[in-house]
Structure 1
Amino acid sequence: MLKNLNGYELLSYAICNEECAAEIYEWLSERLEGEASEEFRRLAAEKKKHALRMRELFSKLYPNREPIKFNAPPLDVLPVCSEMMKAKSEEEALSLALLSEALGKTLYMKLARMVGDEKIRLLFEELAGIKEETYKHLLEVYEFLSSGS
């Protein structure tokens, strides 16, 4: 679906992607307790910051236009969304978030290769790097919680 979209549409999609993911992580933060709850709250805030940065870039590149509203779950969360909603433990939720962040990195790298606008490409590459760092951080939290420490 994404390979046929132009820069305006890809950036619109990415905004929806981050905003929807923030909602999912907020929902998870309310369902879980302890360290995992805090991590999902932090992730939700991070997603909101990403969406805001994208909206700022969008306003510069496409003045007097609004992003398209996509009614679809984020591609980086889609494969694990239903499982995330059923997660019974913080370890399970974190393992699914790890998968989501890995998928997100791949998604943003693909989007970076697909878009023609250099500013959007650089933003997508930066977001892929952030996904990688988030993955590493979540892995540390997951390993800490799994070890029972």
Structure 2
Amino acid sequence: MAIDVDIIQDVEILLKNLNGYELLSYAICNEECGAETYEWLAERVEGLLVDEFRHLAKERRKHAAQIRELFERLYPKMKPIDFNAPPLDTLPVCGEMLKVEDVENALAMALLSEAIGRDVYRKLQRMTGDEEVAELFGRLAEIKDEAYRKLLELYESVTSG
């Protein structure tokens, strides 16, 4: 599995230069695109993973709604920017996700995506100057960590048997 570190660094540089309005816009796009990725994966796997990927997609949609709600409170009458880029948490694994054919690899990709997502939200939490935005990013990082742990248990049960 190849991860393009240069792409991650480029996106991190971009994120460092964003203000709160732009960071929240990015986070909305991040969650919505992540939901689409999990929905796509759910259509290509079988068994327990279908339900897990659908659950993760639903969670991503819920996170996008939470971020959008905060965005609307902080920036009334403004619309979020549409970022034309995959989310940082799936960006390094997008190519591999498109080739996923077995449960073990699908879970490995999801694990990596959730771990990167957790780290991205922790970075965004540190980067924002707004306490309410930082708190939301911190909660999202914790949720990503919980999703990672749940997927890890599933991965371990699939690979040990």
1:91 corresponds in structure 2 to 104
Quote the sequence identity (%). 64
Within 5 Å, give how 1:47-62 maps onto structure 2. 47-62=60-75
Provide, for residues 63-101 of structure 1, a one-character-per-residue CA deviation record: whole Å limited to 9, x for no partner. Answer: 000000001000000000110110110110111110111
Structure 1 residue 147, shift from structure 2 partner: 2.1
2:117 corresponds in structure 1 to 104
Give the root-mean-square deviation of aligned CA atoms. 0.6
- Residue identity in the other structure for 1:127: L
Structure 1 residue 20, shift from structure 2 partner: 0.3
Partner Cα distance (2:87, 2:66) in 1: 17
- Residue identity in the other structure for 2:80: P
Aligned residues: 148
Matching of residue 12 in structure 1 with residue 40 in structure 2:
no
Partner Cα distance (1:28, 1:98) in 2: 13
2:53 corresponds in structure 1 to 40
TM-score scaled by structure 2?
0.91
Structure 1 runs not aligned, ≥5 long: none
TM-score scaled by structure 1?
0.98
Q: 1:22 aligns with which of 28, 32, 35?
A: 35
Structure 2 runs not aligned, ≥5 long: 1-13
